[in-house]
Structure 1
Amino acid sequence: MPIKKISLLFWLSCAICGTAVADTVLVKVGNGQVTEQQLEKAMSAAPFASQFPSMDEKDQAYLRGDMLMRLARSEALHQEAVALGKTETQPYRQEMSNFRTSLLAQRYLTHLREQVSVPAALESRLKGDLKSSSDALIAARASYVAQQFKDLKEKRIAELKQQARIKTYFERLNKDIKADTVLAETADYTIRYADLMPTQGSINADPQQIKDKVNEWLELLVLARAAVAEGIDVEGQMADYGHYLSAKMLLADQERQWIPDDKALLDYFRQHPNIGYIPERRQIGQLVAASKEQAEALRQRILAGESLFKLAAEYSIDPYGREHAGDMGWLQEGSGFDAIEQVLKKLPDNQVSDLIQTPKGWHLVMIVDRKPAEHKEFAAIKDRVRQALIAEKMTAYLERVMARHPLEWQIQDHI
């Protein structure tokens, strides 16, 4: 089923069914699944989340469907990684362990901060002194809490370190250090040189930087232990990160196979020289009117000397354009509606266009500035070549993975 149809069905499904059930399964993926709760979490974290409520239903439906498909692919990649044993490797286990420690430490610090509050007497005094400025009152509270938290944090870490019976061996940094050289110990944990500098070329590492890393990691360890003692649970976040990490490691292995060296990139560039073409980029001003009559009236006002941007802030029916006073930023040639692109090709800078009709309304556009198209050599766009090669390989690879872990849609078809 095409993604646009899936997305529309999903939107209609949600609209018709009313309030969603958080654990509703939207799609089964091999032995796994994607739930509505996962989708909502991903949507709220997406870059477009703040703009989502102002979009029309079709755009919202498409974005939901696209996100759902991304989650389904991610789940399939995770299952592929598990099948290939990626989650049983030492690098995976070490990264998961490190992430757990960091996450527990972060959660404990949040817990610690929640214990800090402004005393009633101080709150009363601040309100009296700053009653004419709510912003100043908020800033004063925040400053007090920040300082108290800093002091509490330092005191608590010192207590936890003492309880952990930490021993450090920084003098060993001045000797012939090896990967298994122990630099610090706690009651139940050992930090070796390789834990901090696992890659080659670490012999020349600055001893002070190593000391700082050891001390930083010791802080994280004691905070993580305190979090466990407090009963702080991070298993949900760990499961999410485990899925992400397994897919990331799987794809990293594939990329190394596709691109073993720069020669593979250079060969691909020679086979696809158009990758070096950088299209013209234009800084665009735009006003979108609801009717032809309104658009023509606004165009005449612009020709008479009024600012397109000022009028866009007042009259444009495009939510983004109205919010940004018609400034659409830098847009690449070919990124807009066909009808608009045809006009932009011939439009002189700083001149308002004739009326342009699209499904969004009646447009008036202006090119404020432009960067001409150009052709770049391989060395200047190596990363771009890499991305293009990976994108090409990825399409076929994902098809194979999805075939091994097929999708079974659970979205009810209401059409």
Structure 2
Amino acid sequence: MKKIFFISLFFALLNNQANANKVLVTIGKSGQVTEQQLESAMQGAPFATQFPSMDEKDQAYLRGDMLLRMARAEALYQEAVIAGKEQSKLFKYEMGNFKTSLLAQRYLVSLRQQIKIPEALEQQFSAQIQDNSDALIAARSVYVAKHFTSLKDQQISKLIEQANVRTYFERLDKTPTAGTILAEGDGILIKYGDLIPADQQIAIDNQQVTEKVEEWIKLTLMAKAAVAQAENVDAQIQEYAHNLTIRLLLADKEQQWIPDEGTLRDYFQQHPKIGYIPERRQIGQIVLATKEQAEQMQARIKAGESLFELAGQYSIDPYGHQHSGDMGWLKEGSAEPVIEDAIKNLKDNELSAIVKTDKGWHLIVIVNRKPAERKDYAAIKDRVRQKLIAEKMTVYLQEIVEKHPLQWQIDEQIKIKKD
């Protein structure tokens, strides 16, 4: 039912592509996701490079899934705001660190851009490295990198001098408190308590403290220089704040769900199947458009030709064609039932019978396999944690969406369906 919803959602989206700012869904009292935001998320997704070659139904599923994830994330954000996460000390600490680091990074980028290769040297590079653009780019990069380090050190030293920075590392030997000043200067003040939030104090030695202070002096001064250069990071700050607010909410929920390791052990005992690792198979596959073509390929493979070489030439499956039929390692039960039935009794390197699916006519071979196994708690502790969180999250998201309802603006016929 969920996949049907995603596919319906995708085809509705196709009718709205002319208006990039069209609101696709509103969330709660003030949230929304637009077509432009969805497009941006799709372009930044891990599957972005493979997306154009996918068939329409797979694209529909991924696009609909992304939109639903974004809508739920906005609902979580509204819940996090109500919970006061934006007002917490940890939020303010993390935001301060992020903004300073981001501005410092922008300053370094501007420094790097100041480095210009002398015309004479540029001509020398071009003469020595003719018809090799990669080598020319590498030579330029080496020059810039070499001169960037010295320029950076010079500029940071100048910033420290201009700010009249003074350090008091000797105070570390006298049991410092959160208010102990370790460095100060024009527009800069670093206290012992600034290094780590009070609610996250951990033991660090004096050398580590000294290094952190020196690093923070540089970052702070570079950030101030970036502000003086009118660097604008408002968009990145807003996005990070939005995501951080959600992360802090979920971190608290995870702590509630898993207060101690005993909770994980109990969950593992109640769900022993988590420890079962099914057989994994290295699959080779070629997919043809017609049964007649599949029969021809079957004969050629049985006569000695390579399924993989033929898949690289003739397979209509985009991924299989690109990877010459190598589908990688797949877990038992992860394929369509008709394919699972066809390969369950195959020996290694034995060609399957022809299998028909909605994607075409398949010929499959198992190249290698890793046998099924059962692992104990210690070996899969992280997996147990992930399973428990996923189970709790499903229920929690339903509660959040009920509290901050999603209103679809794409098509009146499209409604959220229960998982």
> Do both share a fold (TM > 0.5)?
yes
The alpha-carbon deviation at position 277 of structure 1 amounts to: 1.1
Counterpart residue number, 1:28:
26
Letter in structure 2 aligned against 1:162: E
Letter in structure 1 aligned against 2:44: A
Counterparts of residues 162-177 of structure 1 (less than 5 Å): 162-177=161-176
**Whole-angstrom distance in 2 between the partners of 1:180 and 1:292:** 78
The alpha-carbon deviation at position 118 of structure 1 amounts to: 2.8
Q: Kindly tell me: are residues 57 and 186 of structure 1, through their superposed partners in 2, closer, same or farther at Cα, counting changes over 3 Å?
A: farther
Q: Percent identity?
A: 57
Counterpart residue number, 1:355:
354
The alpha-carbon deviation at position 3 of structure 1 amounts to: 4.8
Q: Per the alignment, in what secondary structure is the counterpart of residue 18 of structure 2?
A: coil
The alpha-carbon deviation at position 130 of structure 1 amounts to: 1.4
Counterparts of residues 257-406 of structure 1 (less than 5 Å): 257-406=256-405
Work out whether residues 16 and 22 of structure 2, in 8 Å CA contact, stay in contact via their aligned partners in 1.
Answer: no
Letter in structure 2 aligned against 1:12: F
- Residue-pair matches, total: 412
Counterpart residue number, 2:417:
none
The alpha-carbon deviation at position 222 of structure 1 amounts to: 1.0
**Whole-angstrom distance in 2 between the partners of 1:319 and 1:151:** 49
**Whole-angstrom distance in 1 between the partners of 2:116 and 2:170:** 42
Q: Which segments of 5 or more consecutive residues in structure 1 lack a partner in the other structure?
A: none
The alpha-carbon deviation at position 373 of structure 1 amounts to: 1.1
Q: Kindly tell me: are residues 377 and 17 of structure 1, through their superposed partners in 2, closer, same or farther at Cα, counting changes over 3 Å?
A: closer
**Whole-angstrom distance in 1 between the partners of 2:307 and 2:116:** 50
Work out whether residues 80 and 246 of structure 2, in 8 Å CA contact, stay in contact via their aligned partners in 1.
Answer: yes
The alpha-carbon deviation at position 210 of structure 1 amounts to: 2.5
Q: Per the alignment, in what secondary structure is the counterpart of residue 37 of structure 1?
A: helix
Letter in structure 1 aligned against 2:166: K
Counterpart residue number, 1:108:
107
Greater displacement, 64-73 / 149-158: 149-158
**Whole-angstrom distance in 1 between the partners of 2:302 and 2:72:** 51
1:196 aligns with 2:191: no
CA RMSD of the aligned region, Å? 2.1
Counterpart residue number, 1:118:
117
**Whole-angstrom distance in 2 between the partners of 1:156 and 1:24:** 46
The alpha-carbon deviation at position 14 of structure 1 amounts to: 4.3
Work out whether residues 9 and 413 of structure 1, in 8 Å CA contact, stay in contact via their aligned partners in 2.
Answer: no
Greater displacement, 55-64 / 78-87: 55-64
Q: Per the alignment, in what secondary structure is the counterpart of residue 284 of structure 2?
A: strand
Q: Kindly tell me: are residues 34 and 310 of structure 1, through their superposed partners in 2, closer, same or farther at Cα, counting changes over 3 Å?
A: same
Q: Kindly tell me: are residues 169 and 342 of structure 1, through their superposed partners in 2, closer, same or farther at Cα, counting changes over 3 Å?
A: same
Work out whether residues 3 and 65 of structure 1, in 8 Å CA contact, stay in contact via their aligned partners in 2.
Answer: no
**Whole-angstrom distance in 1 between the partners of 2:413 and 2:148:** 54
The alpha-carbon deviation at position 194 of structure 1 amounts to: 3.2
Q: Kindly tell me: are residues 186 and 44 of structure 1, through their superposed partners in 2, closer, same or farther at Cα, counting changes over 3 Å?
A: farther
Greater displacement, 108-117 / 356-365: 108-117
Q: Per the alignment, in what secondary structure is the counterpart of residue 334 of structure 2?
A: coil
Counterparts of residues 43-54 of structure 1 (less than 5 Å): 43-54=42-53
**Whole-angstrom distance in 2 between the partners of 1:258 and 1:18:** 41
Work out whether residues 13 and 410 of structure 2, in 8 Å CA contact, stay in contact via their aligned partners in 1.
Answer: no
Counterpart residue number, 1:158:
157
The alpha-carbon deviation at position 123 of structure 1 amounts to: 2.0
Alpha-carbon displacement from aligned partner over 1:204-249 (angstroms, at most 9, x marks no partner):
x343332222222222111111111111111111111111111111
Q: Kindly tell me: are residues 132 and 392 of structure 1, through their superposed partners in 2, closer, same or farther at Cα, counting changes over 3 Å?
A: closer
Greater displacement, 383-392 / 297-306: 297-306
Greater displacement, 88-97 / 115-124: 115-124
The alpha-carbon deviation at position 173 of structure 1 amounts to: 3.0
Alpha-carbon displacement from aligned partner over 1:310-349 (angstroms, at most 9, x marks no partner):
2111111111111111111111111111111112211111
Q: Per the alignment, in what secondary structure is the counterpart of residue 346 of structure 1?
A: coil
Counterparts of residues 96-245 of structure 1 (less than 5 Å): 96-198=95-197, 202-203=202-203, 205-245=204-244
**Whole-angstrom distance in 2 between the partners of 1:20 and 1:92:** 36
Q: Per the alignment, in what secondary structure is the counterpart of residue 26 of structure 1?
A: strand
Q: Kindly tell me: are residues 20 and 158 of structure 1, through their superposed partners in 2, closer, same or farther at Cα, counting changes over 3 Å?
A: farther
Alpha-carbon displacement from aligned partner over 1:14-56 (angstroms, at most 9, x marks no partner):
43345342x3221111121112222122111111011111112
Q: Per the alignment, in what secondary structure is the counterpart of residue 288 of structure 1?
A: strand
**Whole-angstrom distance in 2 between the partners of 1:201 and 1:24:** 46
Counterpart residue number, 2:70:
71
**Whole-angstrom distance in 2 between the partners of 1:285 and 1:10:** 33
The alpha-carbon deviation at position 265 of structure 1 amounts to: 1.0
Greater displacement, 397-406 / 180-189: 180-189
Q: Kindly tell me: are residues 94 and 71 of structure 1, through their superposed partners in 2, closer, same or farther at Cα, counting changes over 3 Å?
A: same
Letter in structure 2 aligned against 1:25: V
Letter in structure 1 aligned against 2:137: I
**Whole-angstrom distance in 2 between the partners of 1:317 and 1:33:** 39
Q: Kindly tell me: are residues 266 and 152 of structure 1, through their superposed partners in 2, closer, same or farther at Cα, counting changes over 3 Å?
A: same
Greater displacement, 240-249 / 52-61: 52-61
The alpha-carbon deviation at position 119 of structure 1 amounts to: 3.2
The alpha-carbon deviation at position 9 of structure 1 amounts to: 4.4
